[in-house]
Amino acid sequence: MSLRGVGRLARYDDVMQALREVSDPEMPVVSIVDLGIVERVAIEDDRVVVDLLPTFTGCPAVGMMARAAEARIRALPWVREARAALRLEPVWSSERINERGRLALRSLGVAPPGPVAVCPYCGSRHTRVTAAFGPTRCRMACYCDECRNPFEQMKAV
């Protein structure tokens, strides 16, 4: 496909759609776009640079997400070069998670961040934190006193 046939907005849409197909390897039902990890997309002719924000400094999954983003963007027919750059500023915030991301987290059994952990299984607010750290630094372990299910909650940052 010739670059002349692909407009600037269409190329941006192509890249964003490709990034929506890249998921967080620790939470595979949530895309990096829906988690708010994608900070910026820069397109210069057939080169694309994407800035990614880690949810936490030292997140072990961010390198995998960067490589997956590069590979997925490189698969676009008009892209010759793709690079994912990791940025620490601005600092990622849990407020960046969009509604689609919050719904995907619930489907995984992970409560979205908030002042109160709402059980993703029964919707109860009668929950408690059982451990400040879950299987990853960005999640904590919780328990629902209503349905008696353990679950995780993304930390509010």
Q: What is the pTM of this model?
A: 0.85
pLDDT at 80: 96
pLDDT at 6: 54
pLDDT at 1: 31
pLDDT at 4: 43
Q: How far apart are CA 11 and CA 123, in angstroms?
A: 40
Low-confidence ranges of the chain (pLDDT < 70): 1-6
pLDDT at 157: 82
Kindly list the structural domains of the chain, giving each domain's residue range(s) and its CATH number in brackets, ordered by start: 3-94 (3.30.300.130), 109-154 (no CATH)
Q: How far apart are CA 37 and CA 154, in angstroms?
A: 14
